[in-house]
Amino acid sequence: MTATAPLDTEPAARLEASALTLGYTDTAVVSDLDLRVPHGKVTVIVGANACGKSTLLRGLARLLKPRSGSVLLDGEAIHRLPTKQVARSLGLLPQNPIAPEGVTVADLVGRGRHPHHGAFGRWTTEDEQAVAEALTLTDTLALADRVVDELSGGQRQRVWIAMALAQGTDLLLLDEPTTYLDVAHQVEMLDLLADLNARRGTTIVMVLHDLNLSARYADHLVALRTGRIVAEGTPREVVTEEVVRTVFGLDNRVIDDPVSHTPLVVPVGRRQRLAPQEIR
Amino acid sequence: MTVTVDPGPVATQTPTRDAVEVVRRARRGPVRHRRRLVGGLALVVAAAFAARVLLGDYTVTIPDFLRILGGEQIPGATYIVMESKLPRAVLAVLAGLAFGVGGAIFQTTLRNPLASPDIVGVSLGASAAAVSAIALAGWTGWPVSAAAVAGALGVALVVRLVAGDHGGFRLVLAGIGMAAAMQSVIQYVFTRVDEYDVQLVLRWLTGSVNGVAWSSIGLFATALVVLLPATAWAARSLEVTELGDDAASGLGVGRGRTDLLMFLAVLLVAVAVAAAGPIAFVAFLSGPIARALNQGRTTLLASGLVGAAIVLVGDYAGAYAFADLNLPVGIVTGAFGAPFLLWLLARGPLNGHRGRRAA
Amino acid sequence: MAVLAHTRPETSNPLGGGPRSRSALPVSVAITIAALAGAGVLSLVVGATWVPLAAIWDSSHPLHPVVEARLERTVLGFAVGGALGLAGALMQGLTRNPLADPGILGVNAGATFAMVVGMTSFGLTAMSQFLPMAFVGAALAALLVHAIASFGRDGATPMKLAITGAALSAGLASWTTGLLLADRKTMETFRFWQVGTIGGRGFDVLLTGLPFLVVGALLALAGARLLNTLALGEDLARGLGRRTTRDRLVIGLAIVLLAGTATALAGPIAFVGLVVPHVVRGLAGPDYARVLPLSMAAGAVLVVVADTVGRIVLPPSEVQVGIMAAVVGVPVFIALIRRTGRAL
């Protein structure tokens, strides 16, 4: 049932979960989970609602303390490391970020440099360059002096990513970055992230709810069900009819995406199962 | 929210030097605006200070004032300036600064303009502790300030515990309850006081800069010399805290840092209350007014200056605007601050931060 | 809008039934009467001087005068407590807000301010003159708070009502103090009154206020059915044929009469109206036909007991009722916030 890529051919993993159990109250949402995030690749975590994928990401992002087990960054338990130190390696795009009123794009992206300012840190040219680069990469340079509040949804999401980029981290975690975006912007966003991964080698871990987009953009796919990994590996290995049925409870066919040649899930609904003459 | 059409993909590799220039220029705008605002407010405060000290029912000329400061004894003027006007004005500025900064920190960190120390009972907690120390235990001097700090921290802790991680509404409601409780304590102390001192009552229920000894003001000023720079340093994380708990954690600002900042804010408010009483609404109004003047952006320094201006003007009005009556500043700010708060409540959703979500 | 914490339909009677069915009624009545009698006796007996039971009915007993003196405050305590308990239950039912209370929503502050205006600006001195002022003040404050809190898309949520009430109370308190500063003589008598106290009032004061209390209570008890219907939601109530606006005005009038009179007689006492209805609903279910009279009784018991405890807790001085009520009320308020957190 579990499809795993052979571990010895995987690149080194800087971020990993080891026997990780996470929960908010007494029940465990993620149970005894092991995950090694392949370095320099795009990892996507998928699963049905309430399977624990957001919780897992939050655990990896140091937002949630493990009940048992640990999250390791470069071999060290992430919770024992100072927050600022972690922030220099791990960037995060949270699910519902708040844009303070009246803040300009340049200002907001600049705040991403905070982890690099020591106790008495001042703003340096290095910071300026990081911000400029982040804005350029996300194609938001033209919006630099605009107020974030007044931007469209797609533009705002790009600005938040720019802020995470300005943080200058090797790893980037994103919690459902494409929710609230329309399809065109979703693809645009994922293209941007893929670009980032290709150009800068940023390790990306994200939670996506769209299985087909996940199959298209992921190097490494992790399918969760009730807090445990059901399948893990390349999209071709993971996105099979059997796995999709187990994880999503959906009758389906898997075909080849004519554009990207990654697996494409075609749902089979109740009506499609009826013979054509029977459909009224 | 205005919907803008995306301009479409631009060439993604523009020369970095131009880009840096764009960034630099974009960052300069808000900074310049803020500097101008702070400058303007500083002038306002200075003017109000001068008016308070030199004008009113007894006018003192500037040369005379300077001479008095130098130690010269001008009959009548020296007493009035040194024993009445100057201490009131100095205390007004200091208290306004402390309340303004403390209030702005509360409102920004808790992401709720209603979560201001005077509304959630922190100021009244400090006051209840201080007045109990003075009236029931006979303390004076710095132990009173210490009691005020203890009272403020106690209330802050209770409110924080009750609100748990839900913050927002629960916090404000718990604060209102605690404020009512603290008021009862203060009123109880009054009924135990043998010699009925009106000034005492007014100071500790609403706040007053009147009749405070130079020694107390000096104590307060010393505390501020330590607290304000510490706060300025700790507040550098405020721009990150504003972005939400998750984003803040992602950027390296954990709970500890935020707690430290709130602790300093509570201290600021507590020492101000120990000196001048819980001057109503100054902490609540300074932040929003400063923000409105700063295009919506939070600024602690401007908030402090707005607070100083409010207390100075309020004290001036209380002293002279109502014939024969010498109203303490707390009554003035309470009488005008409350309608203003009511207007704000009616005008728009004041509950909760108006930050944008991704939708 | 918050729904009262206990309006959960049960079995056949949509307004609560089950174990608290009709057969339990005589029991609750008996308990109520016992509680009232017990509180009353305690109030007469306990104090700086402990009086033996015999002194209560034996008019020749040397300590009988003490009992007589305490009788005044006991009766006043029953009246004021009953009024406040009832007013609180009415407010909570009317606004569907578990945190409603005449003190929190600014009604008491309005009554106080109006009375002080009467004292200082018009030179009123008699209770019969204060009462109309108190009613006007209470009514205006209630209307103002409700009007302001109703702005905005979500209307008058409990949260907004509480904040608005607090703001108005603070503002009115400032104005009140400002007026008193102009009139030092009034200030001196006022500082004790404003704490909320039932000692040292006198029977004639109570008698002046009694008619209004009675009218208010009758109006309130008649409004029980409306409140039950309102608890189901405004639209449903209208659909069921009640003339909701007229009914609400009647209830509002009852609240003003009760809270205004109570404040005029004893000064502003907060939290009684908040705590009592919750306890009563917890024990007797959400049916207002029960909640109202029981709130009245429970409020009466609470105030009298609070006054009694206040007399002995810190000898030789006395802690006023208003403060004791706050001591009990604030922890309950906080516990309520924790419990109803989501609903707000």
Ordered structural domains, chain B, with CATH: 87-351 (1.10.3470.10)
Which of B268, B238, B284 lies closest to B103 in space, CA to CA?
A: B284
- C297 with C115: CB under 8 angstroms? no
Chain B residue numbers with beta carbons less than 8 Å from the beta carbon of A136 are 12-14, 16, 19
Q: How far is B26 from chain C (nearest CA, A)?
A: 36
> How far apart, in Å, do the first and last CA atoms of chain B sit?
11
A145 with B297: Cβ contact below 8 A: no
Chain B stretch 94-123, residues whose beta carbon is closer than 8 A to a beta carbon of chain C: 114, 119
Instruction: List the strands of the sheet with A42-47, edge to edge.
Output: A90-93, A171-175, A203-207, A42-47, A220-225, A228-233
| b/e map B169-181, b = 16+ CB within 10 Å | bbbbbbbbbbbbb
Q: Measured between alpha carbons, how far is B19 from A143 in angstroms, rounded to an integer?
A: 12
Contact criterion met (CB < 8 Å) for B237 and A148? no
Nearest-angstrom CA–CA distance, C190 and C188 = 5
Q: CA separation (Å) from A279 to A251, A266, A269, A272, A274?
A: 19, 20, 13, 9, 7
CA-nearest of C218, C214, C200 to C318 is C200
Q: What is the rounded average pLDDT of the residues C131-158?
A: 83
Q: Do chains A and C touch (3 or more CB pairs under 8 A)?
A: no
| Subunits in contact with chain A (3 or more CB pairs closer than 8 Å) | B
Please, which residues have CB within 8 angstroms of residue A10's CB and are 6 or more apart in sequence? A36, A38
Q: How is residue A14 written in tokens?
A: 């800087």
CA angle (B290, A149, B256) in 5-degree steps: 65
From B215-224, C79-88, C147-156, the region with the lowest mean pLDDT: C147-156
Chain B residues closer than 8 Å to C270 by CB: 180
**CA C316 to CA C326: how far, in whole Å?**
21
Q: Is residue C31 part of a domain?
A: yes
| Cα–Cα distance, A125 to A104 (Å, whole number) | 19
CA distance A108 to B290: 20
Are the beta carbons of C330 and B180 separated by less than 8 Å?
A: yes
Mean predicted confidence (pLDDT) in A8-22: 77
The predicted structure's pLDDT at residue B42: 95
Which phi and psi (to 5°) does residue B45 adopt? -60, -45
Residue C14 lies in a domain: no
SS3 assignment, position B283: helix
Domain presence at residue C303: no
CB contact under 8 A, B247 and A94: yes
Smallest Cα distance from C166 to chain B, Å? 7
Domain count for chain C: 1
User: What local confidence, expressed as pLDDT, does residue A91 receive?
Assistant: 93
Handedness of CA B229, B232, B235, B237 (dihedral sign): negative
Q: In this structure, are residues C120 and C133 in contact, taking their beta carbons and an 8 Å threshold?
A: no
Spatial contact of C188 and C120, defined as CB atoms under 8 Å apart = no
Distance CA C108, CA C272 (A): 12
d(CA C314, CA B341): 39
Is residue A252 a contact partner of residue A265, using CB atoms and an 8 Å limit? yes
Q: What does the pLDDT average to over C204-216? A: 83
Chains touching chain B, criterion 3+ CB pairs below 8 Å: A, C
How does pLDDT run across A205-254, given as a tens digit for each residue? 999 989 999 999 999 999 999 889 999 999 999 999 999 998 888 888 99
Rounded CA-CA distance A176/A214 in Å is: 11
Identify the closest residue of chain B to A134 by CA–CA distance: B19
Domain containing C264 equals 2-6+27-297+330-343
Contacts 24+ apart (CB under 8 A), C43-50: C43/C70, C43/C73, C43/C74, C43/C77, C43/C304, C43/C305, C43/C307, C43/C308, C44/C70, C44/C71, C44/C74, C46/C308, C46/C311, C46/C312, C47/C308, C47/C311, C47/C312, C48/C311, C48/C312, C48/C315, C48/C316
CA distances from residue B349 to A131, B173, B342, C145, C267 in whole angstroms, order as listed: 34, 16, 12, 15, 33
Question: Which among B25, B243, B353 has CB closest to A111?
Answer: B243
B293 C-beta neighbours (distance < 10 Å), count: 18
Long-range pairs for B78-82: beta carbons < 8 A, 24 or more residues apart: B81/B53
With CA atoms as reference, the chain B residue closest to C194 would be B187
DSSP code at position B81 = I
pLDDT digits (tens, 9 = 90+) for C293-302: 899 999 999 9
Residues of chain C positioned with their CB less than 8 A from the CB of B280: 170, 174
Q: What is the arithmetic mean of pLDDT over C211-226? A: 84
pLDDT of residue C1: 37
**Cα–Cα dist C286/B160, whole Å:** 32
Kindly report which listed range (A115-124, A267-276, C284-293) carries the lowest average pLDDT score.
A267-276
Please say if the pLDDT value at position C85 is more than 70.
yes
Q: Do B206 and C171 touch (CB under 8 A)?
A: no
Average pLDDT over residues C133-156: 84
Using an 8 Å CB-CB cutoff, list chain B residues near C168. 338, 342
Mean pLDDT by 10 residues, chain B (359 residues): 46 63 89 93 94 82 81 79 88 96 93 85 92 84 88 92 73 84 82 66 81 90 95 91 89 88 94 91 92 89 96 91 82 87 74 36
pLDDT value of residue A162: 92
User: Which of C168, C178, C270 is facing B327, going by the closest CB pair?
Assistant: C178
> Does residue C112 form part of some domain?
yes
- pLDDT for B11: 37
Q: Is residue C15 part of a domain?
A: no
Measured between CA atoms, how close is C280 to chain B, in angstroms? 21
Token pair of A123, please? Answer: 């703003």
Four-CA torsion A178, A179, A183, A187, nearest 10 degrees: 10
Q: Please give, rounded to a whole number of angstroms, the shortest distance from the CA of C57 to a CA of chain B.
A: 34
- How many other CB atoms are there within 10 angstroms of residue A274's CB atom? 11
Tell me the pLDDT band of C70, cut-offs 50, 70 and 90: confident
Distance from CA of B208 to the nearest CA of C (A): 13
How many other C-beta atoms can be found within 10 angstroms of the C-beta atom of residue C61? 15
Q: Which of the residues B131, B342, B350 would you substitute to probe the C interface, choosing the one with the greatest number of C C-beta atoms within 10 Å?
A: B342
Least confident stretch, B333-347, C7-21, C88-102: C7-21
pLDDT digits (tens, 9 = 90+) for A102-135: 899 999 999 999 999 877 778 888 888 899 999 9
Residue of B nearest to A92 (CA): B250
Comparing CB atoms, the residue among A61, A98, A125 nearest residue B243 is A98
Is C219 part of any domain? Answer: yes
Q: What is the pLDDT of residue C11?
A: 35
Report the Cα A12 to chain-centroid distance in Å. 19
Task: Identify from A111, A136, A148, A189 which residue to disrupt to test chain B contact, counting B C-beta atoms within 10 A and taking the largest count.
Answer: A136
Evaluate whether residue C308 is within a structural domain: no
Does the beta carbon of B172 lie under 8 angstroms from any beta carbon of chain C? yes
Encoded amino acid at A1, one letter:
M
CA distance A220 to chain B (A): 23
Contacts of B254 in chain A (CB under 8 A): 83
pLDDT tens-digit series, residues B63-95: 888 888 887 777 777 788 888 888 999 999 999
CA–CA gap between residue B298 and residue B278 (Å, rounded): 23
DSSP assignment string, C122-183: S---SHHHHHHHHHHHHHHHHHHHHHHHT-STT-S-HHHHHHHHHHHHHHHHHHHHHHHHT-
Sign of the CA dihedral with B65 first, then B67, B71, and B73 last: negative
Across the interface, of C153, C157, C163, the residue whose CB is closest to B114 is C163
CA distance A279 to A269: 13
Q: Is residue C70 part of a domain?
A: yes
Q: What does chain A come to in residues?
A: 280
pLDDT tens for each residue of A145-203:
899 989 988 888 889 999 999 998 999 999 998 877 888 888 988 999 999 899 888 99
Provide mean pLDDT across the span A37-61. Answer: 91
Largest CA distance in chain B: 81
Average pLDDT over residues C117-126: 80
Residue C182 reports pLDDT greater than 70: yes
Work out the angle at residue C330's Cα, subtended by the Cα atoms of residues C324 and C331, and round it to the nearest 5 degrees. Answer: 110
DSSP character string of B300-336: HHHHHHHHHHHHHHHHHHHHHTSTT----HHHHHHHH
- Max mean pLDDT among A249-263, C98-112, C237-251 falls in A249-263
B125 within 8 A of B146, measured Cβ to Cβ: no
Interchain proximity A107–B27, CB inside 8 Å:
yes
CATH of the domain at C282: 1.10.3470.10
Chain B residues within an 8 Å CB radius of A137: 12
pLDDT above 70 coverage of chain C, percent: 84
ipTM for the assembly = 0.83
